[in-house]
Amino acid sequence: MKGSAKDINLKNISVLVADSGEPAFRITQSILKSFGADPVVHARTAEQASKLIQRGTVDLLIVNYNIDGKGGADLVRSVRENRRNPARHIPILMTLGHTTIGAVTISRDAGANMVLTLPLSPGGLYDRLSWVANHPRPFVDQEKYVGPCRRFKNAGPPGGMERRSMEFEVDENQTDEAESTAAAG
């Protein structure tokens, strides 16, 4: 992540950790609680997670890609696409252990804000939470994709060029064209 992370406040942030494994939850919970987050709740299945999210009390979702087999992406997609869900805009981090490029792309395209590769490090988690808090992205709601705008880069402007003033402006025509090209390919 480019640049140093801005300090953040996680006191009383309510977190849902959706992960089949108890050890992974305990580790994630311990780190988050040490940051001040509370409560940090566990969902062992995607169905459990979905029900808890519907209550509207979750501020942040951390979901493992492999919950219920490879059900993490489906869970994220269901959260984003449900217009009756009061929590559809919450930040979602997807955790990946054994990582394939396909899984990263699937996670992004399902609507996750960021991907976290395991093992979880306190510094890595903090940096991503700080990034999400301090670099909000427009929320895109289209037929083919619902979630934070995927058109952003960490790399900064190309060398010798000034930063564009509207960093988060989304050109919907270009996005649709790109997706049409990809679909035709």
Partner 1 sequence: MPNSKTNEARIVPTRFTQIARQKPTISRNDAIEAGQSAVTELEPEYLDWVDGLLRALWSAVEKAGQDETFPNPHGEEAYGLSNQIRNLGATFDYEAVTHVADSFCELIHRLNEAGRNDAHAMRTHLNALRLVSTPTFKRDGEGELGALMGALRQLVDHYPEPDGNTA
CB of residue 184 to partner 1, shortest distance in Å: 19
Residue range at the interface with partner 1 (CB under 8 A); choices 3-11, 45-53, 153-161, 177-185? 3-11
In the window 143-182, what residues touch partner 1 (CB under 8 A)?
143, 146, 149, 168, 170, 172
Binding mask 106-145 for partner 1 (x = CB under 8 A): -----------xxxxxxx-xxx-xx-xxx-xxxxxxxx--
Binding mask 68-107 for partner 1 (x = CB under 8 A): -xx----------x-x-----xxx-----xxxxxxxx---
Beta-carbon contacts of 37 under 8 Å, excluding residues fewer than 6 positions away, are: 10, 11, 12, 13, 14, 15, 60
Beta-carbon contacts of 15 under 8 Å, excluding residues fewer than 6 positions away, are: 32, 37, 39, 40, 41, 58, 59, 60, 61, 62
Nearest residue (CB) to partner 1, 73 versus 129? 129
CB of residue 159 to partner 1, shortest distance in Å: 26
Beta-carbon contacts of 9 under 8 Å, excluding residues fewer than 6 positions away, are: 36
d(CA 23, CA 50): 21
d(CA 65, CA 68): 9
Picking from 143, 123, 125, the residue whose alpha carbon sits closest to that of residue 183 is 143
Residues of this chain that bind partner 1 (CB under 8 A): 4-5, 7-13, 20-24, 26-27, 30-31, 33-36, 59-60, 66, 69-70, 81, 83, 89-91, 97-104, 117-123, 125-127, 129-130, 132-134, 136-143, 146, 149, 168, 170, 172
